[in-house]
Chains A and B, each alone.
Chain A
Amino acid sequence: MARVGVEVSIALSEAVGLCNADVIAAYPITPQTHIVEHLAEMVADGELDAEYIPVESEHSALSACLGSAAAGARTFTATAGQGLELMHEVLYVASSMRLPVIMAVANRALSGPLSVWGDHSDVMSCRDIGWIQIFTENGQEVVDNAICSFKIGEDKRVLLPVMVHLDGFHLSHVIEPIDMPERAQVDAFLSVNDYPYALNPDNPHAMGDFAPPVVFTEAKWAQEQDFQKSKAVILEVWKDFEKQFGRSYKPVETYRTEGAENLLFTMGSFSETAMAAIDKMRDDGMSVGLVRLRLWRPFPFEELRDAVKDAKNLIVLDRALSIGGPGGPVCSEIKAALYPLEKKPKIVSIIGGLGGRDITVANFEDIMKRGLEIAEKGSPNEYEIYGVRA
């Protein structure tokens, strides 16, 4: 395994190449452009034998992926922010029609106002779409989970599309030290895509029937049941990955939470900054720890409850704002997940890092301080936003 310093977008494209993707639908949007550009280079140089479709919009990008996955090809695309919104209706179809499409999303703030910089508002508009969704925190995780996503999505027990989330700019454009797997290792890990319902004249299926009211509920419940079952396969694949590559992934990751009274909760790349802040606060004698969600969908209820149930306070930092709603979208899901517990921490919702704004180690310390203040004294607000100039 060669450990290289490489821009994360480039590493991701290389990983898709190692997975021998068959069809790539590509439409450029900041900050995902380096991914599709490098894939184009790889195809042009003969490094990757794939059909590269430079489509005319993101809606067509994902639509082309539907056709490609339906025909049994290993399919990949990437998008961000507005692109994810433009393909919104297609997202639901990919999952309900059980088409394994792997998509990298360089999370970007949604307009308006226009922002090309990173936050989680794009992914938060996609909570109900029925895709498996994995969050990453550094370049290695992006590469590893891109590879795992193909194995998960194409598994015959799953047959679902998978999104790999990486923070726009904060991850996509940074150079990180990454252990790039060898082609032989990935070949051994991934089997050839064998989609059981591929469009083929020898076995004509009709895909995409409409459902009258009398069967629609059954169709959605069947989809939901199958979606829940995918979690077991996700864990299995991560275990296999660990055996072969030595790196482990869990639905909920914890950092120094043993005996911690106060927990910080983050998702995405600023979790690593949060870890540095936790270290510093612990050195200062505070009883703190960090919890991060890696598996966003299917939501890991058990693992989350297990990770936080003994804490006194849980400060959730969301990187998206649900206007007029119950504060941070992730926080509202966490509150819902913890509601049935007899014993649960006090939960505080704080929003920060919108539109590419950095949260530094010092900022995290501030957030923890403010969070604990609110936990103790309460607040007239449902949630607070960090760092807004007033």
Chain B
Amino acid sequence: MQNYSVFVPKLLPKRELFAPGHRGCIGCGEALAVRLATKAMDENTIIVNATGCMEIIASQYPYTSWRLPWIHTLFENTAAVASGVESAIKVLKRKKRIEDRDIKIVAIGGDGATVDIGLQALSGAMERGHNFTYICFDNEAYMNTGIQRSSATPFGASTTTSPAGKVGKGQFSWKKDMLAIAVAHNIPYVATCCPSYPFDMIEKVGKALAADGPAYIHCLSVCPTGWRCATEDTVKIGRLAVETGVFPLYEVVNGQYKMSMETPELKPLREYTSLQRRFRHLTEESLDLIQERVQLEYNKIAERAACAPKLEK
């Protein structure tokens, strides 16, 4: 995946549906991720945004960074609002009050808004089968409010509410497997992605938009501010998350798992954790345990993919 064709970037649509001038931190991996996600969208898209980093950096009155119809209401109801928008568009088309054209509904939320407080609404929307795409931009903590832990914070990471101290050693639980939760709802398309693999990401967002029914995408968003890493390492760290198996790239199409890239041997975890000060308190022993678990979780996904019949591209 690192052998980029020199022509490929030029096949991306030039228009920026997420305009420059947003107030994201320097080197924000989430803003990059949102920007790349929009490259798979066109103007016939409605964005439903949760409260969080991406909402705050893009919507200080009287400004907006969005060049699409966009609605933000509250923190935990994004999928419910999206359900309402989707239902309304459906019935208005049916009653011929609006033009019958394909309008994509895309819900955007951070890990807090998705995996914690917004889980109920998301589960309901997926269960009801609304035709929409939900993209979780996971920067692994409640970053907008000041780096507090979420259930997506990786084990051992130091956050302001799971700080590394004399007694506590950072996040005490393993990252909640939101992908498995999404797959359990039997929706047509589930995938992980990372902006460090931009073309894979854009393709996956495209597939999610094209899916008939709910689609869920979980996107790793490197946060230099919260992960305490160098701003220029944003893309590199995302790549390492994938190469070390911490964040495997895969799709689940109608329940069938498919790895997005072959990584027969995972890089050592320390290559990833050593670049981020949120892990610096971890002992060698802890890092070994984490690496073992990472390998275990990675194997689970790979096994499911191996069992799946060959998927058509």
Contacts and interface: CB of A to CB of B under 8 A. Distances in A.
Interaction A to B:
yes
Interface of A: 22-23, 25, 49-51, 53-57, 59-61, 63-73, 75, 89-90, 93, 97, 192, 199-201, 203-212, 215, 219
A360 B156 CA distance: 65
A204 B68 contact: yes
Given A22-B92, A49-B91, A66 B84 contact: yes
Contact of B80 (A55, A209, A212): A55
B143 to A, nearest CB: 16
A199 B60 contact: no
B94 A71 contact: no
B194 interface: no
A53 B74 contact: no
Interface string B51-85: 00001100111111011111111101100111111
A192 B97 contact: yes
B128 to A, nearest CB: 7
A237 to B, nearest CB: 22
Given A67-B85, A73-B91, A90 B77 contact: yes
B59 A206 contact: yes
Interface stretch (B116-124, B177-185, B204-212, B247-255): B116-124
A97 B97 CA distance: 23
A60 B84 CA distance: 9
Contact of A71 (B49, B63, B89, B127): B89
A96 to B, nearest CB: 10
B88 A208 contact: no
Interface of B: 43-46, 48-49, 55-56, 59-64, 66-74, 76-77, 80-92, 94-95, 97-98, 103, 120-121, 123-124, 127-128
B70 A206 contact: yes
The 4 A-B pairs with the shortest beta carbon distances in the complex, nearest first, are A67-B84, A56-B124, A208-B72, A63-B77
A219 B60 CA distance: 13
A93 B121 CA distance: 17
Given A49-B95, A90-B74, A60 B62 contact: no
B84 A200 contact: no
B121 A63 contact: yes
A323 to B, nearest CB: 28
A59 B80 contact: yes
Contacts, number: 166
B84 A65 contact: yes
Contacts of B86: 67
Nearest to B105: A67
Given A204-B66, A208-B59, A215-B61, A64 B87 contact: yes
Contacts of A211: 61
Contacts of A205: 69-70
B91 A209 contact: no
Contacts of B128: 53-54
Given A49-B94, A201-B44, A93 B88 contact: no
B45 A201 contact: yes
Contacts of A75: 84, 88
A72 B98 contact: yes
A204 B124 contact: no
A57 B76 CA distance: 12
16 contacts: A22-B88, A23-B84, A23-B91, A55-B83, A63-B74, A63-B84, A64-B83, A66-B71, A71-B46, A71-B84, A93-B73, A206-B69, A208-B59, A208-B70, A209-B62, A210-B59
Contact of A60 (B55, B69, B80, B94): B80
A267 B86 CA distance: 38
A90 to B, nearest CB: 7
Most buried by B among A25, A71, A72: A71
A222 B150 CA distance: 37
Contacts of A65: 84
Contact of A67 (B56, B66, B80, B97): B80
Given A90-B74, A209-B60, A215-B61, A56 B121 contact: yes
B46 A199 contact: yes
Nearest to A208: B72
Nearest to A50: B91
A56 B125 CA distance: 9
B299 to A, nearest CB: 34
A63 B80 contact: yes
Contacts of B77: 59-60, 63, 66, 90
A143 B162 CA distance: 54
Given A66-B73, A70-B84, A206-B70, 9 more contacts: A51-B87, A56-B120, A59-B80, A67-B83, A72-B92, A93-B73, A204-B70, A206-B69, A208-B72
A89 B75 CA distance: 10
Most buried by B among A53, A67, A206, A212: A67
A22 B90 CA distance: 10
Contacts of B55: 208, 210
Contact of B64 (A49, A55, A66, A209): A209
A22 B91 contact: yes
Given A55-B80, A67-B83, A97-B73, A60 B89 contact: no
Contacts of A212: 60-61
Nearest to B65: A206
A54 B62 CA distance: 35
Contacts of B43: 201, 204
A220 to B, nearest CB: 12
B61 to A, nearest CB: 4
B73 A90 contact: yes
B107 to A, nearest CB: 10
B137 to A, nearest CB: 18
A206 B64 contact: yes
Contact of B81 (A67, A72, A204, A215): A67
A7 B70 CA distance: 41
Given A201-B43, A204-B68, A205-B69, A23 B59 contact: no
Contacts of A49: 91, 94-95
Nearest to B64: A206
B69 A199 contact: yes
Contacts of A97: 73
Contact of A68 (B44, B84, B94, B98): B84
Nearest to A27: B124
Given A25-B84, A51-B90, A93 B59 contact: no
